[in-house]
Structure 1
């Protein structure tokens, strides 16, 4: 019988086993309307079973005033999806996932899951393009022993070159190596 001699170092927790381990991944708290159907029903009826709790009183005007309209046209809003700062923006998507980077940081999305990495927590960003194939891989290193990667499949090989150039421009603009 052979014995295996291993060090006493335990493996780190894997994201595949514990999705809550991904930084930036938010789980709705227990008891919210998303998870508790009774609470959702109560919120729809309102507190004493009357009108919904978010109903507006009749004396509040529905139309914005002239000063509110001017303020809305001057500054870009978060609803537009545009970043507040002008600068390069990167986005690569396929049928299931997306990789995006802007002035705030890097975002990975796969189906309905999303992970955000802010520039101050990122240690390194690695780009991989295969010699043959169309898979674009971005790896974000958040510490010496933790990294997360996302893959997106391009429709053509030329698209890989475009994505690499666009992401390099974003990294040059926002990522500061320390």
Structure 2
């Protein structure tokens, strides 16, 4: 008869092993017909140039503090972005994206939204809490410290307008 000397470890069924375990994360989308195959895609230098252009456009729009879509939605819209992450909060809910990962939360799926600015730096952190005791933080790096104050005011305006209605 064999005897085990160590603890019995159960298999891990969580977000660290299976990203589909996390509610709100979107899956990988199959490429459309006519989409370029991986070998047909632009090389790294071309991709970097396009990314730099997009980052410049985002930084220009972030300087306006609250959002290009405010006129379309009719209500307050908050948007903050850096080169890797983006936070958008509007009448539909809160959308977080970081690199190629993204998640969406409708207002009825949100228990709380918490924001925090870094003590010494230019970091702005927004954490979305869900009723099932999960939280989803994202950290955005501001171009300067003055943007963080504007971002906090913009986020507060959106939360005042939409979050109180949903709770």
* 1:130 Cα offset (Å): 1.4
Cα pair 2:24 2:105 within 8 Å, conserved = yes
Greater helix content = 2
How large is the RMSD of aligned CA atoms in angstroms?
Answer: 3.2
* 1:144 Cα offset (Å): 4.5
Q: Secondary structure at the match of 1:131?
A: coil
* 1:132 Cα offset (Å): 0.8
Bigger mean CA deviation after superposition, 80-89 or 130-139: 80-89
Rg comparison, structure with higher value:
1
Question: Deviations for 1:112-167, whole angstroms, at most 9, x for unmatched residues?
Answer: 22100000010000001111111110000012421111110001111000000000
Report the Cα distance in structure 2 between the residues aligned to 1:93 and 1:112, rounded to whole angstroms. Answer: 14
- 1:17-166 → structure 2 map (5 Å cutoff): 17-28=17-28, 32=30, 34=31, 40=33, 85-166=73-154
Structure with the bigger RCO (C-alpha within 8 Å, sep 6+) is: 2
What TM-score does the superposition give when structure 2 sets the normalisation length? 0.64
Long gaps (5+) in structure 1:
1-9, 42-79
Long gaps (5+) in structure 2:
1-10, 35-67
What TM-score does the superposition give when structure 1 sets the normalisation length? 0.61
Report the Cα distance in structure 1 between the residues aligned to 2:13 and 2:131, rounded to whole angstroms. Answer: 13
Report the Cα distance in structure 1 between the residues aligned to 2:135 and 2:72, rounded to whole angstroms. Answer: 28
* 1:20 Cα offset (Å): 1.8
Report the Cα distance in structure 2 between the residues aligned to 1:101 and 1:90, rounded to whole angstroms. Answer: 5
Q: Secondary structure at the match of 1:175?
A: helix
Report the Cα distance in structure 2 between the residues aligned to 1:17 and 1:169, rounded to whole angstroms. Answer: 37
Report the Cα distance in structure 2 between the residues aligned to 1:12 and 1:141, rounded to whole angstroms. Answer: 21
